Structure 1
Amino acid sequence: MTSKKKTTQPQASLDPLPEMEVVRRHNLSGNTLSDKAHQIQFIQETPGTWSVKSTDQLRPEFKHESVRNRHFYTLPIWLCEELESEEFSGKVDQEQIAVEKELSHWAAEENFIAVHNGHLFSDPYRDIDSPVSFRSQESAPDEQSNQATPNAAALDNAARIRNETVKRPFVQALRGYQGWLMSNPQFLQELDRLLLDHGPEIEDNHFDAQAWHVRLQADWIMNQNPGSVELPQALARYQVFLSRWRLSRLAGPSYPIPLGPLASGLIPQSMFHQLQSSGGFFFLPDIIPIPSRDELRSLITGALSAEEDTPHLAKWRSLMDSSKSKGPAIQQHKRRFQVQHCWRLLHERHPGIFSRKRNKLQQLFAGALETSVNSIKEDFREFNRTLGDHWEERGFQLPSNVSGSTPSANSPGADN
C-alpha cells in the first residue's frame, strides 16, 4: 500500500453525537441469562475500553526481562512443558521457560494471548467452540431480587452468550482466515507499512480503533467543541486498514482479529461505517416468517459488498465458495496460523532450540495439532514459497524503519 506524506493526507471527520456515544443492546424479558432477546433499544451510556483489559496485578513474571516493555505472546502450555523436558534442557533457558509456563497457565485462566505493560490482549475465537459460561455482576443476595428488569451486566452477559452461539459455526472459517492473512505477503506488507508510519500512536491506544474513536468523541463533546470530530491521521488510516482486511482490531502488532457475525450486544456508532464497508447489514424483523435456506442465503449474499471491490480478497473468497468443498482448506489455514505463530515465537525467544531439533519440533507440532508430520512439513514449504526463506524472523514488536524500506516477510511478490 503506497503511503502519502502526512502533510498531503486529509483528515477524516465525523459528526459528533448530541450527548454521548449511542449503543444498541438487546433488552431481555424476565429470564436474565436467557438468550431469548426480543427487543432492541437505544441506551445512552458512557463509552469505555471494552476490547482490551488493563490490570494492575503485576505478577512477578511481568518484571522478567523477556516480558517487560514488550508485546509478550504466550506459548501453548503443551509446548512450554515440552521445552522443560530433558530433550531440550541444553537448548533453552530453563528459568525463562518457567516464567513462560506460569504466564501461559495464567493466560489460559484469564483468556488472553498477549500482554504489553499490563494490558491484556485476547483472541475471541481461540476457545469459542468450548462450553462458555458467563457470570452476572456480583451483588448482595437481595440487592436485585425485586428488580423488574435485569441490570446492564446481566444484559451484556446474555448478549455475549447469544453471540457465542451465533459465531460458533463460523469459528473455523475465522481461524482459517487468520492463517490465510498471516501467509499473505500483501497483507503483511501493508501491516508493516501501517506500523512503520503510525505504530507508536496505535500502540498507545492498545490497537483498539473503536475505543480510541469513542474517547475522541467523548472528549470533543465534553469540551463542547462545535462542528465535527477531527480524527488523527493514524486513527483514520488504521480504520481504513481494518475495513480493507475485514478486521475488528489487532491483538498487538502481529495478530489479526477478524470481524465476526453479531446477533446482539453493544455496537458502537463509531464502528457502523466499518461494518457497512466490510460486509453488510441484514435486518429480519420478527413479524415475518424466516425464508427458506436457499432464499435466505441469496438475500444475505445480496446484502454483502460486491466482489469487484475486494480483489485482494479474491483467493479467500474462492475458498468460501459454497459450491466447493471448503472444509479441508480452511482447516489447513487454521493449522498454519498456529504453526507459524508458535514457530516465530520460538525463533524470537529461543533461537538456539532449532539446532538439530527442527525435526523433533515438527513432530511435536504434528502430535499437538493432530495431523501428520508430512502435513507440517508441507506447511513450512508453503511458508517458504509465499513469504520467503526467512519468514520466521518476522518479530512480534513494532517494526523499525532502519534502512528506510518496509521490513516485509521477504516475499517474492504480492497479489493485488
Structure 2
Amino acid sequence: MRVLLATYGTRGDVEPLVALAVRLQELGVETRMCTPPDEEFVARLTGLGIQPVPVGPSMRALMSRPAPPSAAELSRYRNELVDAQFARLPEAADGCAALVVAGLAQIGARSVAEAAGIPYVYATYSAVNLPSPHHAPPPRAGWPEPPAADNPALWELDARNVNAQFREPLNRHRAALGLPPVDNVRDHVYSDRPWLAADPVLGPWRETPGLDVVRAGSWFLPDDRPLPADLVTFLAAGAPPVYVGFGSIPPAPGIVSRAVEVIRARGLRVLVSRGWADLDVVDGQDDCFAIGEVNHQRLFGEVAAVVHHGGAGTVQTAARAGVPQVAVPLQVADNPYWAGQVAVLDIGVTLDGPTATVESLDAALETALAPETRARAKAVAAEARVDGAATAARMLVDALR
C-alpha cells in the first residue's frame, strides 16, 4: 500500500506530516510526500525513506525576501501554486491508496483525489482554522482586515474571500478533469470530516454542528539527536538561559534586541535561534549564544523560558517540555491562536507582537520566570498526550483496509 501526503509551507507545516509518514512506514505503508522544493525538506524526507515530490516555488526564498510580498504578489503566487498542484499531484498520486493533505494551500488536492478515485483526508494543526461559532477565522496574509462582527459573519466573509481567490482557477482545472464546479472552495478543501492534528489538552476542539472533526492528536516524532558540542558547553557554563527564537518568519522590528536587553538586565543568559530570518544580535559577550537548527525537544528542557512567535510546533514542544513561555506573535495564520493558548493554559504570557516594548517584555518575563508559572507548565506537560501520529496512522490504515 502507498499513500501520498502533501503540504506547502514552512517547517511547522512539513514536520507534522513527516511524523505521520514515518508512522505509516512502520505499519508497512510506502509514503510519498509533496512539499516545497527547498533542499532541507528534500533532504529530510530522503533521509527518512520518504519519496519527496517538490511542488511549487521555494518557501525559504519567499520568507527571506527583504520586504513582505504585496497583496497582488501573494494573490498571483497562490494561483501559481494551484496550477503547480494540478501539474504535479496527479502523477504523484498514481498508484496511491489515499491522499492526505494539510493546510488550506492544498486547493487542488481533493480534486486530484476525486479524479483518481481515491480517499481524501484533510488535516489541520489548529482548531482555529476550522469554521466554528466559538472562534473567529485566523488572519490570512495579504487579505484585508475584516470588520468587527460576530464569528459566524466573519466565517462567511472568510469563505467569500477564499472563493474570490481560488474558485475560478480551481473550477477551471476541475473542468479539464471532467469534474463538476465547486461553489464553496474552503469547505470543499476542508471536507465534512477534517482531522485535527493537535494535542487535545493544548489545542482542544469545541463541538460545532455540521462539522465532524476527527481528533487525531499532535503529530510529532520523538527526537533523540544530541545537542551540538558548543551549545552543550554554553549550557553547562552557567544558569539555564532564556531561549529567543521566531522560526521561519521575520519578527517585528526590534523585538529580538529588546528581548535580549530585558533578559540581560535580569542577569540571565540568552540563547538566540537564528531561524530563516538569520537573526544575529550576538555582540561577542559570553552571556549570549546564537544557534542554528537544533533538537528543540532536548533543548527546551534545559532553558529557563522560551520567547517565541506563537508557532504551533514551538508552543506544543515547549509545553511538553514543561518550560514557561512568552509568546510574541505576528498577526498571521494560527500564530495568534497558539500564542493565546499560552495565556489560556496559564503556562506563560502572551504579548501583542507589533507593540511589545521593553517594559511589557520585562513584565512578561517576570511572570514567566515565577515559580508558580513553572509549576503550572510542569503540570500541563504531564497532561499533554504524545504520539498522535501513531494513532492517526493506524486509523488511516484500518480505514483503507
Note whether the superposition's TM-score is higher than 0.5.
no
- How does the TM-score come out when normalised to structure 2? 0.24
Greater share of residues in strand: 2
- How does the TM-score come out when normalised to structure 1? 0.23
